[in-house]
Amino acid sequence: MTDIRFDDRVAIVTGSGGGLGRQHALELARRGAKVVINDLGGAMDGSGGNSEAAEAVVAEIKAMGGEAIANGSSVADDAGVEKMIADTMDAFGRIDIIIANAGILRDKSFAKMTTEDINLVLDVHLRGTFKPVHAAWNIMKEQNYGRVVVTTSSTGLYGNFGQANYGAGKLGVVGMMNTLKIEGAKNNIKINAVCPIAATRMTEGLMPQPMLDQLKPEYVTPGVMNLVKEDAPTGMILSAGAGAFSMAQIVETQGAFVGQGEALTAEAVAAKWDEITDTTTQTAFKSGAEHGGNIFARVQEAAQNA
């Protein structure tokens, strides 16, 4: 099996002062990449900030003979993101890989959640993914090369109590990925999502210690390396944790044509509910156009059988 290498590649990993991001950055460096360690150094709720964590990871990379620089910008701040991109280009002259990993939590039940709670989480998770990727997009297009990983969550894909804000942001990055995989294809820009289960600051206290012991952040990273390698897939959601990996997909049933005009009533839809929700014929569409095509295929079938 050929070794996965990133020699001469330049990677930005946001939120890489600790946890998952640190492991991603260290592994990229071990495999030859020049790495930008971006970390605001704030608390888990996004408050505060210092550069100590990012500088420590840079020191680790340099100690192993690698190249890295630290950047303390907030991914939610336009000027900070511009500085992150400028620092990278000044130091290394290109941007090949972005792993958007930075995150915060503001967990509350929906009844107690405030507008500030959702705005802060969306600023970091959704806008904080959009801004660095958008800032580097034209650089990647001109290079005809780019690899991007967004970080989603089981909360976004499936839901968890007390995390409506976090789930909205985490499913939002999947929606972004689904469009960017289409727009980036002609310029060899591939974008994927990782859905990690790992013991980090954000999961402490949520699981028993024996389970946390198996959920080391470094057990997610090998999967992420496969999402940013030369022959990476695109548009994939890779679930990863404890050394196990799986693929998540948004799927849709084949469905049924119910009727049009006066024949189309709520009761008519109810009469065909079992056919509409039949999961034996599910498809993972590659674009919104394919989704629309499925609907019109049912209409055409009905017309042919009329």
The residues annotated with a catalytic role in the active site are 166
Phi, psi of 41 (to 5 degrees): 75, 25
DSSP 249-282: ---EE------SGGG--HHHHHHTHHHHT-TTSE
**Other beta carbons less than 10 A from residue 236's beta carbon:** 19
Cross-strand partners of 239: 195, 246
From residue 132, alpha-carbon distances to 20, 36, 143, 150, 267 in Å are 18, 12, 17, 11, 49
CB burial of 86-107 (b: ≥16 within 10 Å; e: otherwise) equals ebbeeebebbbbbbbbbbbbbb
Q: Closest Cα partner for 81 from 17, 36, 144?
A: 36
Phi, psi of 125 (to 5 degrees): -80, -45
What type of residue sits at position 106? R
Strand spans (E) along 143-272:
146-151, 189-196, 237-241, 244-248, 252-253
